[in-house]
Structure 1
């Protein structure tokens, strides 16, 4: 107890102390410990710490603008299912603005197959909904229409035009949370890799980045994915890509073996199916390990319609509420 604090037995004095101290404009809502110490410099009563703790925990202002006073365990992880068919589910996003090229491009529309991790990146002058829809439909003519598409909540992906086109094409649309972009994890990791590759390409060859994107994509598609055990190219086309390294090996070995077309076709389907089976097994195993690690401290929660919740606003770092779950539309 501070030597200059006063003993207070009156309930009215104690209530006035712990209410006035945090609620005063000069108090700043500094939390339980600092509020307790500030009051203790002037007053003391037997239940001081308990009273301050209860008051601060129930303070409406602190609940609206402050940080949660207890750590809420994350809900168990639910990995994206391993789809059987390539390009049945795609993830899309935009990168930019990048340095403007001679062609006028400043952005990239990135697309990734969720099951094979096969990436695509299309240079664009802008990322308006109309431009993105045009680029996407052109891509779909190569791989077919997906069953579902996932994006962030950017206005270009949530616009009426984009949603209408997806509806007409029979594509179910999902959006990831603006506060949790990790649900776009595979594509976000590819963004980091692609940005580094673009920097290296521009430095080495002194050319615009859009001149080399297709070459960089070749490298990304050829690389084996650790979680799958195969490269995206193998999982989509059923064979290893004939790239610079394979070409070099052929020159060394003079490997020019004629392959019968029918024999190739008969073996192609088996190789492709087998590769996808193994990739699915590897992905499920990797997801299982990730889920076990993630769920160590996770806790499932069941909410009723009467459960109260707070809504968080990212940039203002404030909350609104409490509201009840039954009011969610």
Structure 2
């Protein structure tokens, strides 16, 4: 899981939280007005309710991901929370690459309407899923 900082919208959204299934490369994302630990936990719980509890959760060391509530939720549900070093972004390379892909596709889709990005997140995710290499 990771965040992308995007231009603030009229509705107050300025972050996109992203999660990727490392096996299937399937991305999930949600616009956020703030990046709090509570927002992250709500997003993660919604993913778990839709797709099941992952065996492993990979995140950076930021406080929004590394806190007692997230630790407790992962522990109770059998998820191993692996925290990657910020100084080694390649340790979470798939997520970092997907962040760039999503950001680039949003920019190309929006052009002059860059403050309307939350309306286009699902379209961009759909486009990414349609164009996955057949080997995945």
Q: After TM superposition, list the pairs within 5 Å mapping 1:142-221 onto structure 2.
A: 142-203=50-111, 208-221=116-129
> Unaligned stretches of 5+ in structure 2?
none
Quick check: 1:95 aligned with 2:4? yes
TM-score by length of structure 1 reads 0.40
Shift of the 204–219 alpha-carbon distance from structure 1 to 2, 3 Å rule, reads farther
Select 2:48's aligned residue among 134, 137, 140: 140
Shift of residue 224 of structure 1? 2.5
Determine helix, strand or coil for the equivalent of 2:54. Answer: coil
> Unaligned stretches of 5+ in structure 1?
1-91, 231-278, 280-329
Determine helix, strand or coil for the equivalent of 1:120. Answer: strand
- What CA deviation, in whole Å up to 9, does each residue of 1:158-203 have, x standing for no partner? 1112111211222111011221111111111111111111111221
Aligned length: 136
Structure having the higher Rg? 1
- What CA deviation, in whole Å up to 9, does each residue of 1:276-323 have, x standing for no partner? xxx4xxxxxxxxxxxxxxxxxxxxxxxxxxxxxxxxxxxxxxxxxxxx
Contact in 1 for aligned 2:4/2:16 (Cα 8 Å) = yes
Select 2:22's aligned residue among 106, 114, 136: 114
Aligned-residue CA RMSD in angstroms? Answer: 1.6
How many Å separate the matches in 2 of 1:125 and 1:205? Answer: 18
TM-score by length of structure 2 reads 0.92
Misfit runs of 4+, over 4 Å: 204-207
Where relative contact order (Cα < 8 A, 6+ residues apart) is larger, the structure is 2
How many Å separate the matches in 2 of 1:103 and 1:139? Answer: 24
How many Å separate the matches in 2 of 1:204 and 1:193? Answer: 19
Contact in 1 for aligned 2:27/2:125 (Cα 8 Å) = yes
